Homo-oligomer: A and B are copies of this chain.
Amino acid sequence: MCGSFNRPGFPAVLRSEDGELSVKPVKVGICGLGTVGGGTFNVLKRNAEEIARRAGRGIEVAQIAARDANPQCDTTGTPITGDVFELVANPEIDIVIELIGGYTVARELVLKAIDNGKHVVTANKALIAVHGNEIFAKAREKGVIVAFEAAVAGGIPVIKAIREGLSANRINWLAGIINGTGNFILTEMREKGRAFDDVLKEAQALGYAEADPTFDVEGIDAAHKLTILASIAFGIPLQFDKAYTEGITKLTTADVNYAEALGYRIKHLGVARRTEAGIELRVHPTLIPADRLIANVNGVMNAVMVNGDAVGSTLYYGAGAGMEPTASAVVADVVDVVRALTTDPENRVPHLAFQPDALSDHPILPIEACESAYYLRIQAKDHPGVLAQVASILSARGINIESIMQKEAEEHDGLVPMILVTHRVCEAQINDAIAALEALEGVAGQVVRIRVEQLN
């Protein structure tokens, strides 16, 4: 049902008689092979099969434009050029992935790619915040897609969440930790009482902060991202020049500690709020009550809260930067483009995320074959030797103990609760151990068993 699409810059989908999609891959070109470019190349290569099952079509890197090789990428077999403009003119390429950063060449490159009928995926927040209005107008004129999920909060699909997931709402406000470098510095200042300058130096040594850290610590990077978020939340044009931006360079550990004493944490937030009079658009250090989820987002992690009139407050959390987290968003945009142009409009996004003919028969395991750590509570009759017997039953089955707690003070009818947390082990093994424990004369009644997951 439904014919195939045929558009400028995008080859027709080839269908065999029985309606199968052809295996002809979509061809992408990657401009820039730095951290994000390298990650994008690696993710496309490593997850090629998984991605094709989701997208309905393979995705092939037809060309890379880069000045230098990236030692973290094995690009053997992929044509490389030093000239990005050669890549955007390459008639083989359907989608141009712009990962060179900056405003000037990137703008020219993206406009040229659109002119040539290419779809564009970019991670460039500065470009979108400053030149987005121009770029989007050109894209509409030429009938191509421009996607930019990776421009805000790295791997967290927050643009998609606001633009599509919360489309029923009148958005009231949003607030985000959208610069990982800044959050790393504030986390260290709070947890270890270190001074700003001291932590900044470490962040630079760790590669979290640039040699010139101005964009991160003065809030400019966060203001780029906030500008984009505010536009998609409130339906206003991009207006980076109107954002109020205040950095974290003047924060002292004294204020971090006083805030703590008052029940607050200090975070560098981007805040956008709709009021009768207009939109507040501001980046600055902010005290947040310590019990809020977002106040507990630490290190280089990012999180964005979005409050809508129907949904209330929601939060999206994850890695805001880095090689593969950012690549995750770039490649998701590529998949969106492929799905939008390749598959049937009615089933653009497959119901179960993967194409119906690409579901797997990987079995669901019975619970006995599942693996978990376990919390065990044993009611021990208070006589010597029970602990040794318990330990021996567990060790005979290769079950290691992570921690143990015996509450003598809570003795009750001559029974003392003994609490154990094990390492990860197969459920069948713990069942066997529990049966043996319950058979011990020194153990009363049933052993309480609750699973433990680290979730990190």
- Find A305's partner among B315, B335, B455 (CB 8 Å cutoff): B455
- Asked if residues B316 and A175 are in contact (CB atoms below 8 Å), the reply is no
The answer, yes or no, to whether A188 is at the interface (CB within 8 Å) is: no
How many copies of this chain are found per oligomer? 2
Given A43-B310, A314-B317, A348-B340; A362-B332 close (CB under 8 Å): no
Interface of A is mostly: mixed
- Asked if residues A319 and B311 are in contact (CB atoms below 8 Å), the reply is yes
> Chain A 334-371, CB within 8 Å of chain B: the 1/0 string?
11100011001111111111101011111111110111
- Asked if residues B345 and A238 are in contact (CB atoms below 8 Å), the reply is no
- Asked if residues A259 and B314 are in contact (CB atoms below 8 Å), the reply is no
* CB within 8 Å of B: which A430-456 residues: 448, 450-456
- Asked if residues A236 and B146 are in contact (CB atoms below 8 Å), the reply is no
Query: Once bound together, how far apart are the Cα atoms of A315 and B456, in whole Å?
Result: 11
Query: Once bound together, how far apart are the Cα atoms of A118 and B239, in whole Å?
Result: 41
- Asked if residues B261 and A405 are in contact (CB atoms below 8 Å), the reply is yes
* Count of A interface residues, CB-CB < 8 Å: 153
Measured between C-beta atoms, what is the minimum distance from A135 to chain B in Å?
Answer: 8
Query: Once bound together, how far apart are the Cα atoms of A292 and B286, in whole Å?
Result: 22
Given A316-B316, A317-B314, A365-B275; A335-B5 close (CB under 8 Å): no
Cβ contacts under 8 Å, A363 to chain B: 277-279
- Asked if residues B258 and A455 are in contact (CB atoms below 8 Å), the reply is no
Given A55-B167, A231-B352, A314-B318; A2-B331 close (CB under 8 Å): no
Given A169-B47, A455-B175; A328-B354 close (CB under 8 Å): no
- Asked if residues B296 and A345 are in contact (CB atoms below 8 Å), the reply is no
- Chain B residue at smallest Cβ distance from A306: B318
Cβ contacts under 8 Å, A238 to chain B: 352
- Asked if residues B455 and A292 are in contact (CB atoms below 8 Å), the reply is yes
Cβ contacts under 8 Å, A1 to chain B: 142-143
Between-chain CB contacts (< 8 Å), 18 pairs = A2-B143, A39-B310, A47-B309, A47-B310, A143-B347, A155-B314, A156-B314, A160-B164, A231-B353, A234-B362, A235-B358, A255-B450, A258-B377, A274-B362, A275-B371, A287-B453, A289-B454, A316-B317
